[in-house]
Amino acid sequence: MSETGTLDVTGVVASLAADEKHSAAELIEILAHCRSITASADYRMLQAASLIHDERCEDHLVAVAEHDSGQRSSVDELMAAGMDHLAGRDPRAEFGPDGLERATAEIGAVLNVPAARAREIVTAGDVARYRLVFAGQALAVGRIDLAGFLLICARTKLVVDPDLVKILDTHIAQALFERPPLSRARLVAMVDAIVAMVDPDALARRKERAAADRDVTIRPDRFQPGASRLSASLPMVDAAAIDARLSAMAGSVHTGDPRTRAQRRADALIALAAGHDHLVCGCQNCTQPEDIDADAPARPDTDVDVDAPVEPSPVQPLAPPVGPARPVFHIVVNLSTLLGLDDQPGYLDGRGIIDADTMRALLADAHREFLRRDDPAHSARSASTYVPSKKLQALVRAGELCCTFPGCSAPAWNVDLDHTDPFDHHDPHSGGQTRRENLKPLCRFHHRTKTFNRAWRDYQSPLGEAFFQSPTGHMFLGNAYTALDIFPALGPPGKPEKHPARTTLDQRRATARAAHLRAVERQDDADPPPF
């Protein structure tokens, strides 16, 4: 093996042997250390890939210069070269792969990855060195991982103005360094919200790009013989509509249907492809072969009058869904935007930030629910009941982006609402009441983990921060970025809008950001990037 591929096996074996003697609390620290080291190593890998790219670009230019100096002897030759450029033809293609292609092949070989992955690494390295320098530093010190940095690269590439890129970089870096690690859903929302603030036109360009790149592919599943994989790249709103329709169709059957939810969603997609707008129920009553009177009234499985006598009829089918299943998805938006007074972006649950025009079009015929942070849903009567009112549920979910457990991205409107302090069914007034400051979204997995594993403890601050303490005593903040950062009007009534300490911190950050921008400008003037 080459020197670059050698590994100190003795040291690794010794570390593994030592790990077996560590307690769970010590192993948690090892995990955190490994995460930080991995992020730092990934940053160095990106840096090396970008440097290789620079060198291969120089090699390519030298090779081209040996055959073509770039000078043109006549106006006709100059015009022909200009037409080639407008037509998308590369006059240097005849001299072989360019610098990016050379670097891609070389890096793909040493990392043993496909060309597309190698190209992504090279591009991300260039972004970390020349475009998002401060955000790249967050990767270097372990504030984010490689996947998070690649996500940031992808979500910001449509901001093209160099001055706006510098502002964008400082805002993203500031947000990353002042918060603990975020789940993917929160990171996406935060980056998109900053992009919308710095360059609102980027959202429109993103929508155009998504429409232009739409595609559907169906290919055999490499890992499961006899199965195929279907994937699609669709505009966010269209994908959300299809997803909601599949979920609605999957949920329209009776509770006795033997299929899992995933199987029902797959069958719903097949039904849509066949031109049907509903899913046939597979429960025992609906699949009985006996003939029944088609004119006889069907008996529903819900809303049964308990005072009326019901005769057993094992072959009578339950009422099938009436009409097509209605898709439902949730959008949070400022009322001022809905009225056309501004163009602030909104949030589509489970998808992310959407532009104002798309949002207003979606909400044209939708059911609307107006929320206020001092909503009467906080009344004492509501607090003494276990199930939150619909208003209170909407207020809690609208204030979050996803499950509040650290690292989880389950959409807020598809998960449970958990009482931080357990509700006392015997004496509701003794504690654990159903109030906004005692409720938070938790997916079913993490809800059960917290409920049945008493070693996990959770706390909720008056400002809505959800802290989780692991069995080893480590503390995590699960919702370091929420919908309240996008929609401050939904914040708790007691949250100070402009606390003196916040004002001081904001001023210091603004000063530091301006200093960073001046430093970058001086560096660019002294050593301008090659492209």
The string of DSSP letters for 144-193 reads S-HHHHHHHHHHHTT---HHHHHHHHHHHHHHHHTS----HHHHHHHHHH
Within a domain: residue 478? no
Within a domain: residue 417? no
- For the segment 246-259, the average pLDDT, to the nearest whole number, is 90
Distance CA 495, CA 104 (A): 51
Within a domain: residue 186? yes
Q: Which position has the higher pLDDT, 94 or 207?
A: 207
| Per-residue tokens: 427 | 């004496």
The pLDDT of residue 1:
42
Q: Are 350 and 357 in contact (CB under 8 A)?
A: no
Percentages helix, strand, coil for the chain (3-state, rounded to 5) are 50, 10, 40
Within a domain: residue 292? no
Does residue 522 register a pLDDT over 70? yes
Confidence tier at 96 by pLDDT (50, 70, 90): confident
The pLDDT of residue 137:
94
Q: What rounded mean pLDDT belongs to the chain?
A: 82
Confidence tier at 177 by pLDDT (50, 70, 90): very high
Within a domain: residue 13? no
The pLDDT of residue 91:
58
Does residue 6 register a pLDDT over 60? no
Q: Computed over its alpha carbons, how large is the radius of gyration of the chain?
A: 29
Predicted structure pTM score: 0.79
| Per-residue tokens: 372 | 């206020």
Does residue 32 register a pLDDT over 50? yes
Does residue 222 register a pLDDT over 70? yes
- The SS3 call for residue 519 is helix
The pLDDT of residue 304:
35
Distance CA 8, CA 6 (A): 7
Within a domain: residue 274? no
The pLDDT of residue 21:
84
Does residue 130 register a pLDDT over 60? yes
Percent of the chain surpassing pLDDT 70:
77
Confidence tier at 22 by pLDDT (50, 70, 90): confident
- For the segment 201-221, the average pLDDT, to the nearest whole number, is 90
> Would you mind telling me the total number of residues written for the chain in this entry?
531
The pLDDT of residue 195:
95
Confidence tier at 278 by pLDDT (50, 70, 90): confident
94-108, 206-220, 341-355, 516-530: the lowest-pLDDT one: 516-530
Does residue 497 register a pLDDT over 80? no
7-11, 149-153, 241-245, 278-282: the lowest-pLDDT one: 7-11
The pLDDT of residue 107:
96
Q: Which residues is 439 bridged to in the sheet?
A: 419
Structural domain total, the chain: 1
**What does the DSSP 8-state code read for residue 388?**
P
Helix (H) or strand (E) holding 13: helix 9-19
The pLDDT of residue 305:
37
Q: How many CA atoms lie within 13 A of 274 on its CB side?
A: 10
Residues 6+ apart with CB under 8 A from 41: none
Within a domain: residue 94? yes
Does residue 310 register a pLDDT over 50? no
What residue numbers bound the domain in which 162 lies? 21-69+77-212
Helix (H) or strand (E) holding 38: helix 24-65
8-17, 50-59, 111-120, 285-294: the lowest-pLDDT one: 285-294
**Long-range contact pairs involving 192-198 (C-beta distance under 8 Å, separation at least 24):** 192/155, 192/345, 192/352, 192/353, 193/345, 193/353, 193/485, 193/486, 194/168, 195/155, 195/156, 195/158, 195/159, 195/168, 196/345, 196/353, 196/355, 197/171, 198/159, 198/164, 198/167, 198/168, 198/171
- For the segment 253-274, the average pLDDT, to the nearest whole number, is 92
The pLDDT of residue 309:
37
The pLDDT of residue 317:
43
SS (H, E, C) 319-384: CCCCCCCCCCCCEECCHHHHCCCCCCCEEECCCEEECHHHHHHHCCCCCCCCCCCCCHHHCHHHHC
